[in-house]
Structure 1
Amino acid sequence: MTDAAQRISALRHELDAHNYRYYVLDEPSIPDAEYDRLFCELQQLEQAHPELISADSPTQRVGGSALQAFAEVQHSVPMLSLNNAFSEDDLRAFDRSVQAGLGLPPGDLFGGGAEVDYSCEPKLDGLAVSLLYVDGLLVRGATRGDGSTGEDISANVRTIRTIPLRLQGSGWPARLEVRGEVFMPRAGFEALNARQVDAGAKTFANPRNAAAGSLRQLDPKITASRPLEFCAYGVGEYAADLPSSHIAMLEQLKAWGLPISRELRLARGVDACLAYYAEIGARRQSLAYDIDGVVFKVNSLEDQQQLGFRARSPHWAIAHKFPAQEELTELLDVEFQVGRTGAVTPVARLRPVQVAGVTVSNATLHNMDEVARLGLMIGDTLIIRRAGDVIPQVMAVVPERRPADARPVQIPAQCPVCGSAVERTQLVKRSKGRASLSEGAVYRCVGRLSCEAQLKQAIIHFVSRRAMDIDGLGEKIVEQLVDNGLVHSPADLYRLTHEQVLALEGFAELSTRNLLAAIAGSRQPSLARFIFALGIPDVGEETAKLLARALGNLPRISQALPEVLTWLPDVGQEVAHEIHSFFADAHNRQVINELLEHGVQPQQSSELAAEFTACASLAELLEKLAIPGIASTGARLLAEQTGSLEALIALSQDWLTLAQCKGLNEKARQALREFFADPQQRRRAEDIDAQLQAFGMHWLSERRQAGGLPLLGQTWVLTGTLESLSRDQAKQQLEALGAKVAGSVSSKTHCVVAGPGAGSKLAKAAELGIRVLDEEALLSTLQELAEQCDE
C-alpha cells in the first residue's frame, strides 16, 4: 500500500470514529476546527489520487449529479405503520390485548395482572426510511412509500452525516436493513428558513415538511445543504440471530455507529408507560426536535413474534399520540388591534377548534405582508398550528376549499379605536450618501397618545415590572385611569392625588396609599429602565441597557445623532433612526420634561463608558457618510493623509492636490468633491464630528481604560431551568460583570448556560462549538469573577 493510500485509509477511519463519537455517543473528542482540518486533508489527497476514492469515504456525502426520477424499491420485509392510541383508555386496551395475546393472567379487583416490559421512545415527526448495509457498507436508502414499495433515495441519505457510510466495530450481519426516522432539529429548521428568506425563496411550514422536502430532492447537493439527522428505531431484513430484546437490538445498532434515541427507556407495565408519556410530554417543547407522541413496543422479540401482525400494523407496538398541534378551521373574519406604538395588527377570528388540547378561536397574522404571503381571504380554510404555550399561528391556506364568496382582507383607512388616519411606515435606506424611502411591513395609527388604545398600552408598558416597576398598577387600573380622564401621558401618573385614586372602583384607604407610595417609589429608576419604559420603537431591554451603559446619561442619549449611535455594538441604522426620531419629536420631549419636572430622576452617570472613549476614527466616519465610490480602503487612505474632517473637506475642494491622492480613481475623487460641495451633506458631517468630540468618542479624545468588568464584550445565553437562582437573577449577575445576556445563540455567543430541559439553544451551541456550562459551573464562575472584582 502506498503512503497516500495508507494516509487516506487512516484519515477515513479517524473521521468515521469522530463522527461516531459526535453523533451517536454525544461525546465529541476534538474541536470542529480540527475535524475540518482532517476532512480537508482527506479531500486534497483524494483529489490528487482519484483512483483511491471509495463510496464509503466521508468526502462522498456531498452528493453526485441530480437524478431524473427516483427508482422504485421493493421492501423485502414490509414497513408497517403503527396503530394509534389517543387516550389513557386506548393505551390500557392495547396493554390488555398484549397480555391476552401472550396468555398472561389478567388483573382483577384485588390487583393487577402480569406486567409486560415495553420499550419507550419519542415518536419523531419526520420521514421513515430504510437503510440497507451489505458487508457493513451502505448500499441503499429508501422511503417507506406504501409500506411495500418505496423510492430509492440512496444518493440523498448518503449526504446525512448522522448516517454512517460504513458500520463501526465488527460482528454485523452480511445483510442488515436498519429502519429509522430522518428529521430536522428545530435549530436547523429555523436557520434553513432564515436562509430561504434571505434568498427570496419559499419558507417551510414546519420541520417535518422541511425534512420530507429535503430528502426527496432529485439533486443530492440540495439535500446535503439541509440540516437533516437520522435516528434508528428498528430493523427489517437481518441476516443473523437477533438479540433477545428490542432495546438490546437498538443498543447493538448504536455500537455499530447508528444513532438511537437518547430518550429510550424500559417501562414495566402500562402505568410506567403512562408515566413516561406524561414526563416526555412535559419536556416536549424543550427537546431539540419535534415529536408527536410516544412509541411503545413489547420489548421481548420472542413475544413480538408470538403476537404477530395485522394486515398493516403489528400487534406488539402502538403510537400514543399527543393532542394534534395542527388543525383545519375556517377564517370567519379579520379584525385589527392597535398596539402601544400605534402598529395596526391584523388578528384572525376563527371557527373555534381544538389544537394541542386547547380551544383556539384567534390567531395572530403579524402584518399585512404576512396576509399577502399567505394569500389569505375571509372565508378560507386554514391550517392552524399551536406548539405548547405558543400563540396559535396560521401556517397555510387550503386553496381548494376557498368558497365563492370569499372576501379580501383590507387594512382600514382609519384607526378602529380613535378614527385617526392609518399610514404605512416608511423605511429609510441610506446608501451612496443618499436616503431613499421604501414601504415597511407595519401600518400605524397617527393618533399617538390621543388614541386611547395607544395611550393605555403605553402606560401599561411604562409601569411594567421590567420598566418603571410600579407595583399595583395593573391593566384594569390603567384602563380606569385613562377612561376617567385622569391620565393622558405617563407624566400624569405622578400628578395623581389621594382623592382621585380613592374615588376609583375597588380602592379603599389602604390600597390608595399603597398605590401612591409605589408611584412615588418609582421616581428614581435606573437610566436603562427609564429608557425602556419610554417605549421607543425597536428598543428593547438590551438596547436600553446598552444606551444607558455606553452613553451614561439622558442628555447624550436624547441628543445622539443616528450615525453616532451606530458606533455602539448591535445598533443598526434603522434602530438608530428610531431612537433619534423619538427624541426629536416635540411631544415625546414634552412628556420627558414633564416626568423630570414631577421628580422622576433616572440614576445616571456624567461620563461616557470608558470602552467608548476615543472609539471612533476618521475612516469610520467617512464610511458612515456613505460617499459614492469611497469604500473602506479609500476611507482609510484619505484618513491617513488628512487626519481631520476639516483637512479632508479642504482636500476635497483642492482639485489639484486631490488628483495626486493615491488609491482613489477619478470617479471617487469627483464624488468626494460633490459630496462636500453640498452644504447639507457638509453640515451633516460637521455635526457628527462635533458630537463625537462633545461625547468624547472622537479619535482625538482622551482614551480611558475600561475598569474591572471581566465579562465585558462577551455575550452569554441562558437556557433550560435553573434551580439555585432564577433566570432573572443569573442575568443580573452576568450583566453586573459586564456580559450581555442574549435570547438566542449565534456565532458571536461566548458561552451558553444550560439547565435541565435545555433544547434547541443547547443543540445550536453544540453545532457551533460554543462553550456550555451547567448551573453548578455557572455558580462557581460567578463566585470566582466576583472575587476578582473585589480584589
Structure 2
Amino acid sequence: MPSAQSAAERISTLRSEIENHNYRYYVLDEPSIPDAEYDRLFQELKALEAEHPELVSPDSPTQRVGGAALAAFGQVRHELPMLSLGNAFEEQQLLDFDRRVREGLDLPGGDLFDAGIAVDYSCEPKLDGLAVSLLYEEGVLARGATRGDGTTGEDITANVRTIRNIPLKLQGKGWPRVLEVRGEIYMPKAGFEALNARQLEAGGKTFANPRNAAAGSLRQLDPRITAARPLELCVYGVGRFEGELPETHVAVLHALKSWGLPISRELRTATGVAECLDYYRDIGTRRDALPYEIDGVVFKVDALASQRALGFRAREPRWAIAFKFPAREELTELLGVEFQVGRTGALTPVARLKPVQVAGVTVANATLHNMDEVARLGVMIGDTVIVRRAGDVIPQILGVVAERRPPGAQPVHIPETCPVCGSRVERTQLLRRSKGRQTLSEGAIYRCVGRLFCRAQLKQAIIHFVSRRAMDIEGLGDKIVDQLVEAGLVSSPADLYCLTFEQVRALEGFGDVSAGNLIAAIEASRRPSLARFIYALGIPDVGEETAKLLAKALGSLARLQVALPEVLTYLPDVGAEVAHEIHEFFSDAHNRSVIEQLQARILIEEEGALHPDYAAIATLADLIDKLHIPYVARTGAQRLADRFGSLAAIIDADWLDLRQVERLNERAAQSVREFFADSQNAARARELEAQLHEFGMHWQSERRVAQGLPLSGQSWVLTGTLESMPRDDAKARLEALGAKVAGSVSAKTTAVVAGPGAGSKLAKAQSLGVQLLDEAQFLARLAEWESASRE
C-alpha cells in the first residue's frame, strides 16, 4: 500500500486528469483518450480512495457524474439524480455483483444455476450515446435535459423535440400525470457514416465515432442543426413520476413502449447470473451486426421493490451494473511507419505499434490509409495514438493524444524510392470534376513507377492475371507465384507461357502429376476472350464489368490500346478517371512490351467489329464540350455545333463568324478563337474527330443496324440459388443474348430470376411489378432464345 503522502499526490493527479477528460468528453465533445483508458484511470482512483478513505472529498470524480452544464443552455436540476453505473470488465466481477445482490436481499448462497436462489435481471445493450431526461406532464413533452453532472443538466428541450422517435404527446392511456423518462440519444451507424460523408463534402469537421456525433448534434444552439442529424432515442428507465407504474423494470419499459416511447428490441429477462452471461455472450457475437454501437450490457435487478431495498452508493445504484465488452479503442505508441506496395504500385503507410490488446486481440500494426490521412491526423513517430479495432476490420489509428507527444517525435515522410525495388516514387495525378468539368489535380496516391519490374507489384499482378475471372489458370496460387518469382522463372505474366515441365517439377511441393496439371492448365488458358484478357491485365479501376464493356464496345485490343481518354468516355459507365487510367496504362512502354510478348504466346479471341448496342454515337457538341474550352459550357458547345455543322468549320471560323453565333457571349467567342489558334489544340481536336470516325462513333458516320440479339437493351437480375448451373454461367448466357445483368432491382429491370433463398431482391421485384421467373421457366426461355439466335 502506498504511503498517505504518495497516495494523496497520485489521487490529486488522477482527479485533475479525470476532470480534464470529463470536460473534453462531456462539454467540448472532443474526447482525447479511449473509454478504456478513462476507465483505467477511474478504477485506479477508486482503488486508492478505498485504501485511503480519509482522502475522499466531495469534489472527487468518484462522487459525481460527468461534467458541468454548458453556459449557453439553461440549467435543469434533476429532482432524482441521474447516476452512473458501476462497471464489470471480467466475468468474476459480474459474479461478485450477483453475490452482493443476493446478500443484500438476504437470499441464500449456493449453486448459481439453482433457480430457487436466483434473482431476475433485466438485460439491455449499453448504447454508446448521450444520457437524457424527458419530462412529460399530462402526457405532453414539457422538457428535455442532459445528464450533466448527475444533479444539474442542460435544458435541450428545443433540440429533443426535433428527434423523430421522441413522441411530443404520449399515446394510449394510463400514463402517470407526471412522468420523467430516461434514455440514451444515439446515432445509428448508417446515419453516422452518411453524416461524416456530408461533412467531408461540405469541408466541415468529421466526427470520431457515433457517440461523439450524437453528443455534438444534440447540444447545438440552433435546433435546425439537430433536426438535420439522424438521432434516435432509446428509453431505459424512469425518474420522478406521479401515479402508478408496474412493479418490475421490464414491465415498466413495456408500459413506456405502449405509450409510444422507444425501448430496446434486445430487452430480455434473465433468471440468475448464468443466464445473464448467456445474454452477454450472445449479443457480443451479434454486436457488429447491430445497427448501432454498443459497448457492453446493462443488467438491473428486475423487481423494483428489490431495487429500493438494495439502494445506492454515493455514485451508483447497488442493483445495476454495466458489463463492458473488451475495449475497441486503446492507447499505444507509434514506433514507426513502413510503406507497403500494392498491385498497382500504390504505397500505403502502415503504422508499427507498441503491441496492445484491443478487443481481445494483440494489435501491433494499423493502417494509415494514405498520406492525406497522415496529414489529417497530424501523426508523428513517437506519438501516443488511439487505435480502434471493430470485428474483422483492420485496426486503424483514430487520433493522436497531442499532450503526450515526446520532444523527439519525428514527422512521417513518403519515401523517394520504392522500398521494394528502389524505383522512383511519384504522386499520381487524378482527374477531378469541378462543376461539370474534368481537370487534372494532385491526388492522395503515391505510386512506384517500377510497375512490373517491382517484385511487389509483379507478384500481385500475376496473382490477379491467373485468377478465376481473369485467365483462369487453376493451381497457380499465391505461394506458387511467390516461388516462381523468387526463383527468377517469371518476371512478367508473359513468362508463364514459357514455363517447362522440368522447371515446375523442380519447385518445392511439386511431383510429376501436379507439375503436369499446372502446365496443362497454363496451356488451356492460351485462348482467352478479349474481355478476360483486358480484366487480367489489372488496369487500375477496370473491373470485370468494365472489361466486358470495353471488349464489346471496341471489339479489338488494338483499338483499346490507342483509344484516347476522351473517346473512351463516350462509352456507357466509363468516367473520366477510368478513361485516364486506361490510357495511361497502355501508354506505358513496359506494359506495351509485356502485352506484345503475351500476344506472341496466346491467341486472344476478339469480336473485331464494334458492338452496336455498346458503341455510342458521338455528336459534334459532345466533342466541343470534351475539349474544355474556357467559358464554353455545354449549351455553348451545342450552339457552335448548330451554327457551323463541322469541326473544320469551327476551327477555321474567324472572330466575326464566331460573334454571329446566337447567344454566344463575347468572352466565349474570344476563348474559342484563342483556343484553336493554338496549333496543338487544333491538332488534338482533329485527332479526336479522326478516332471517332475510325471507331465508327463519328456523328457523320452511318449508324449501324443492331444485330437483333433477343435480349438487347434488357436488364436482368439473378437472385437466390440456381440448382442447374452456377450463377456466373447463367449471367454469361444472358449477356451472350444481349442482356445486361445487374446487381440490384429497379423500375427499369426487365425480369428477375428467383431461385431458392431469394430475399430482398425478390420482395422489391414483387413490389415494383417486375416479371418473375423461376428456374424452370428461365431455362425454358433460355433454350428458346439461344435457338432463335443460332438460326
Structure 1 length-normalised TM: 0.80
Is the alpha carbon distance of 1:639 and 1:509 closer, same or farther for their aligned partners in structure 2, counting shifts above 3 Å?
Answer: same
1:611–1:706 CA contact under 8 A, matched in 2: no
Alignment of 1:179 with 2:182, yes or no, is yes
2:383–2:401 CA contact under 8 A, matched in 1: yes
In the TM superposition, residue 505 of structure 1 has moved relative to its aligned partner by: 1.9
1:751–1:771 CA contact under 8 A, matched in 2: no
2:237 to 234, 239, 244: 234
| CA distance, structure 2, for counterparts of residue 330 and residue 564 of structure 1 | 51
Amino acid of the residue matched to residue 679 of structure 1? S
- Greater RCO structure (CA 8 Å; 6+ sep): 1
| CA distance, structure 2, for counterparts of residue 97 and residue 709 of structure 1 | 72
In the TM superposition, residue 731 of structure 1 has moved relative to its aligned partner by: 11
Amino acid of the residue matched to residue 321 of structure 1? K
Corresponding position of 1:18: none
Corresponding position of 1:29: none
Aligned residues: 706
1:617 to 616, 619, 633: 619
Corresponding position of 1:589: 592
1:613–1:702 CA contact under 8 A, matched in 2: no
Corresponding position of 2:215: 212
In the TM superposition, residue 504 of structure 1 has moved relative to its aligned partner by: 1.4
Is the alpha carbon distance of 1:523 and 1:304 closer, same or farther for their aligned partners in structure 2, counting shifts above 3 Å?
Answer: farther
1:635 to 637, 649, 661: 637
In the TM superposition, residue 400 of structure 1 has moved relative to its aligned partner by: 0.3
3-state SS in 2 of match to 1:310: coil
| 1:458-491 residue CA offsets vs partner (Å, 9 max, x unmatched) | 2223233443343332332222211211111011
3-state SS in 2 of match to 1:441: strand
1:532 to 532, 535, 540: 535
| CA distance, structure 2, for counterparts of residue 585 and residue 177 of structure 1 | 70
2:130 to 127, 151, 166: 127
Q: Which runs of 5+ in 2 are unaligned?
A: 1-69, 785-791
Corresponding position of 2:687: 687
3-state SS in 2 of match to 1:612: coil
| CA distance, structure 1, for counterparts of residue 773 and residue 83 of structure 2 | 52
In the TM superposition, residue 166 of structure 1 has moved relative to its aligned partner by: 2.3
Is the alpha carbon distance of 1:108 and 1:252 closer, same or farther for their aligned partners in structure 2, counting shifts above 3 Å?
Answer: closer
Corresponding position of 1:57: none
Amino acid of the residue matched to residue 636 of structure 1? Q
In the TM superposition, residue 662 of structure 1 has moved relative to its aligned partner by: 1.4
2:754–2:774 CA contact under 8 A, matched in 1: no
Is the alpha carbon distance of 1:554 and 1:230 closer, same or farther for their aligned partners in structure 2, counting shifts above 3 Å?
Answer: farther
Is the alpha carbon distance of 1:364 and 1:109 closer, same or farther for their aligned partners in structure 2, counting shifts above 3 Å?
Answer: closer
In the TM superposition, residue 285 of structure 1 has moved relative to its aligned partner by: 1.7
In the TM superposition, residue 300 of structure 1 has moved relative to its aligned partner by: 3.3
In the TM superposition, residue 669 of structure 1 has moved relative to its aligned partner by: 1.9
2:129–2:185 CA contact under 8 A, matched in 1: yes
Corresponding position of 1:254: 257
More displaced 10-residue stretch of structure 1: 664-673 or 391-400 = 664-673
Amino acid of the residue matched to residue 689 of structure 1? E
Amino acid of the residue matched to residue 692 of structure 1? L
2:613–2:713 CA contact under 8 A, matched in 1: no
Alignment of 1:669-684 (within 5 A): 669-684=669-684
2:414 to 397, 411, 416: 411
Corresponding position of 1:423: 426
Alignment of 1:687-706 (within 5 A): 687-699=687-699, 700=701, 701-702=703-704, 704=706
2:715–2:748 CA contact under 8 A, matched in 1: no
| CA distance, structure 2, for counterparts of residue 243 and residue 725 of structure 1 | 54
Corresponding position of 1:149: 152
Amino acid of the residue matched to residue 704 of structure 2? E
Is the alpha carbon distance of 1:607 and 1:280 closer, same or farther for their aligned partners in structure 2, counting shifts above 3 Å?
Answer: farther
Question: Among the aligned pairs, what percent are the same residue?
Answer: 65
| 1:60-92 residue CA offsets vs partner (Å, 9 max, x unmatched) | xxxxxxx97022211122222222232333333
Is the alpha carbon distance of 1:139 and 1:88 closer, same or farther for their aligned partners in structure 2, counting shifts above 3 Å?
Answer: same
More displaced 10-residue stretch of structure 1: 234-243 or 387-396 = 234-243
Alignment of 1:241-280 (within 5 A): 241-280=244-283
| 1:572-610 residue CA offsets vs partner (Å, 9 max, x unmatched) | 222211111101222212212222322253x55445444
2:552–2:614 CA contact under 8 A, matched in 1: no
Is the alpha carbon distance of 1:581 and 1:133 closer, same or farther for their aligned partners in structure 2, counting shifts above 3 Å?
Answer: same
| CA distance, structure 2, for counterparts of residue 341 and residue 540 of structure 1 | 13
1:345 to 335, 342, 348: 348
Amino acid of the residue matched to residue 85 of structure 2? L
| CA distance, structure 2, for counterparts of residue 503 and residue 236 of structure 1 | 77
| CA distance, structure 2, for counterparts of residue 82 and residue 749 of structure 1 | 53
2:475–2:518 CA contact under 8 A, matched in 1: yes
| 1:660-689 residue CA offsets vs partner (Å, 9 max, x unmatched) | 321211222222233333332233233333
More displaced 10-residue stretch of structure 1: 538-547 or 77-86 = 538-547
2:330–2:358 CA contact under 8 A, matched in 1: yes
In the TM superposition, residue 389 of structure 1 has moved relative to its aligned partner by: 0.6
Alignment of 1:363 with 2:342, yes or no, is no
Amino acid of the residue matched to residue 497 of structure 1? T
More displaced 10-residue stretch of structure 1: 689-698 or 589-598 = 689-698
2:247–2:305 CA contact under 8 A, matched in 1: yes
In the TM superposition, residue 425 of structure 1 has moved relative to its aligned partner by: 2.2
Is the alpha carbon distance of 1:505 and 1:281 closer, same or farther for their aligned partners in structure 2, counting shifts above 3 Å?
Answer: same
Is the alpha carbon distance of 1:269 and 1:417 closer, same or farther for their aligned partners in structure 2, counting shifts above 3 Å?
Answer: same
Corresponding position of 1:40: none
Corresponding position of 2:15: none
Corresponding position of 1:479: 482
Is the alpha carbon distance of 1:730 and 1:181 closer, same or farther for their aligned partners in structure 2, counting shifts above 3 Å?
Answer: farther
| CA distance, structure 1, for counterparts of residue 152 and residue 350 of structure 2 | 45
| CA distance, structure 1, for counterparts of residue 326 and residue 527 of structure 2 | 49
Corresponding position of 1:661: 661
In the TM superposition, residue 111 of structure 1 has moved relative to its aligned partner by: 5.5
Alignment of 1:190-589 (within 5 A): 190-427=193-430, 438-548=441-551, 550-589=553-592
| CA distance, structure 2, for counterparts of residue 638 and residue 548 of structure 1 | 33
More displaced 10-residue stretch of structure 1: 612-621 or 76-85 = 612-621
In the TM superposition, residue 112 of structure 1 has moved relative to its aligned partner by: 5.7
| 1:625-662 residue CA offsets vs partner (Å, 9 max, x unmatched) | 22222222222333344454345445xx1544433321
In the TM superposition, residue 747 of structure 1 has moved relative to its aligned partner by: 13
3-state SS in 2 of match to 1:177: strand
More displaced 10-residue stretch of structure 1: 77-86 or 397-406 = 77-86
Task: Name the larger-Rg structure.
Answer: 2
Amino acid of the residue matched to residue 237 of structure 2? G
3-state SS in 2 of match to 1:419: coil
In the TM superposition, residue 209 of structure 1 has moved relative to its aligned partner by: 1.3
| CA distance, structure 2, for counterparts of residue 213 and residue 748 of structure 1 | 41
1:564–1:688 CA contact under 8 A, matched in 2: yes
In the TM superposition, residue 223 of structure 1 has moved relative to its aligned partner by: 1.9
Corresponding position of 1:17: none
More displaced 10-residue stretch of structure 1: 358-367 or 657-666 = 657-666
In the TM superposition, residue 730 of structure 1 has moved relative to its aligned partner by: 8.5
Amino acid of the residue matched to residue 624 of structure 1? K
3-state SS in 2 of match to 1:309: coil
| CA distance, structure 2, for counterparts of residue 145 and residue 434 of structure 1 | 50
| CA distance, structure 2, for counterparts of residue 623 and residue 445 of structure 1 | 34
In the TM superposition, residue 387 of structure 1 has moved relative to its aligned partner by: 0.8
3-state SS in 1 of match to 2:740: coil
1:612–1:697 CA contact under 8 A, matched in 2: no
| CA distance, structure 2, for counterparts of residue 108 and residue 430 of structure 1 | 69
